[in-house]
Amino acid sequence: MTITSNEVEHVARLSKLEIDPEDTGRLTLKLAAITDYMRLLEEEDVSGVEPTTHVLQLTNVFREDECIPCLPREQALALAPESEGGFFKVPSIL
């Protein structure tokens, strides 16, 4: 199946993209090359290949959670520019 200039214009309209008429021919060739390459990939036998989400084997490195004492409220509020009623006082955002 080849890509036509009408299909390129249709996809551009669906994508809400404005393309110049002189660019339509160039884009038609590029999209045709992409779909031809996808056809080549469809011919490959990948039945023994496991699905992947990333080309590298990545693992998250997590540390164990530790319960440690937190900063006492009075000491934390002492560092604040303003406090009121045991809480940080910040400007109103209304």
Query: pLDDT tens digits, residue range 39-50?
Result: 998 999 988 888
Higher pLDDT pick, 79 / 36: 36
Exposure string over 43-63, b if 16+ CB within 10 A, otherwise e:
eeeeeeeeeeeeeeeeeeeee
For residue 86, is it within any domain?
no
For residue 59, is it within any domain?
no
Mean pLDDT calculated for residue range 47-76: 87
For residue 49, is it within any domain?
no
Rounded to 5 degrees, what are φ and ψ at 31?
A: -65, -35
Number of compact structural domains in the chain:
1
Q: Coil, strand, or helix at residue 92?
A: coil
Residue type at position 20: D
For residue 36, is it within any domain?
yes
> For the whole model, what pTM was predicted?
0.48
For residue 66, is it within any domain?
no
What confidence score (pLDDT) does residue 40 get?
Answer: 92
For residue 53, is it within any domain?
no
Range of the domain at 32: 5-43
For residue 12, is it within any domain?
yes
What confidence score (pLDDT) does residue 1 get?
Answer: 65
Residue type at position 45: D
